Amino acid sequence: MSHPLKSFRHEALMYASDAEFLAGTVPFIRDGLAAGEPILVVERPEKTDLLRAELGVDADAVQFADMLEVGANPARIIPAWHDFVARNGGPGRPVRGIGEPIWPGRRAAELTECQRHESLLNVAFAPGSAWWLLCPYDTVALAPVVIDEARRSHPFISDGSAHLESEDYRGHGAPAALLDAPLPAPPRQHHELAFGSGGLVGLREFVAGHARRAGLGADRIDNLILAASEVAANSVRHGGGRGVLRLWQERDAFVCEVRDRGNFDRPLVDRVRPGDDPGAPRGLWLANHLCDLVQIRSLPSGTVVRLHLRNQAA
């Protein structure tokens, strides 16, 4: 199972049972441990428990993190991998990871952004340190269209024994194209506000009032106000000086959308940790750490950013 790593290897593991999951992940982990490679597993607690039980004492040499926390917002996963690789990798020191961001029960919008995340990984780490990321996919619990997309977003596919190049992989240029993937239209019943360079105070009051009426708690209202202000400020600075904000309630989330006439082609802009330069872009990064989900699209008509805050009971 050993492969000499010269660059990032992004591989999907297809499994149909807990036994197949373990058959594909445990040898991968033990092979890495034998080679002295640092390993981070980002999984849901039930999968972590399976791995710990199977690995026995070897589990003590593995780093574990909870995907329910790390990947609650899929845009936070790449920064977590960046931190792990930066701390543990380097020239002549490959590392390994296991991450399963897609599981049954994800909201439709979350699933879409998880799939975008998987494609963005191929850009985020293409020129970086040599490391191997294994992404398990449950072929029984997940819809066939999700499995098909995994084959398109991963250069390599494994069934636990064979490790092959994916014949369906769409290439490293795909993430930029995903910026113009369509989003569902807002519902007919939504609240709308046009804003410009002098309208952000009114925008914050508009967001606060409707979020309060939607039943959001005080802390979450504050988070949404700050995130919406940051995104709207980007519209004023880079999107033609004005934009339109829309708010609506979905079954499981409250949504705030900002549209403007600007365009950009930086698919990783919201996943790059801001540097010390005060002028470095940080609005979308901040929004991803204030909201449960952020969707960004750059369309011929302009840029769309949607901020999602899940209902507390969702």
Taking only the tens place, the pLDDT of each residue in 86-106 is: 999 888 889 999 999 999 999
**pLDDT at position 264, please?**
79
Q: Which fold has domain 9-176?
A: Rossmann fold (3.40.50)
Q: What percent of the chain has pLDDT over 70?
A: 94
Question: Quick one: average pLDDT of 18-29?
Answer: 97
Query: Is the pLDDT at 59 greater than 90, yes or no?
Result: yes
Specify the residue for token string 């996963």.
Answer: 77
Contact present, 306 and 183 (Cβ < 8 Å): yes
**pLDDT at position 176, please?**
57
Task: Write down the domain spans for the chain.
Answer: 9-176, 191-310
**pLDDT at position 238, please?**
82
Query: Residue 78 and residue 299: Cα distance in Å, rounded?
Result: 24
Q: What are the backbone dihedrals phi and psi of residue 227, each rounded to the nearest 5 degrees, phi first?
A: -65, -45
Question: Which are the contacts of 18, defined by CB distance < 8 A and separation ≥ 6?
Answer: 50
Tell me the pLDDT band of 177, cut-offs 50, 70 and 90.
low
- Which CATH architecture group holds 191-310? 2-Layer Sandwich (3.30)
Of the candidates 251, 246, 112, which has an alpha carbon nearest to the alpha carbon of residue 188?
Answer: 246
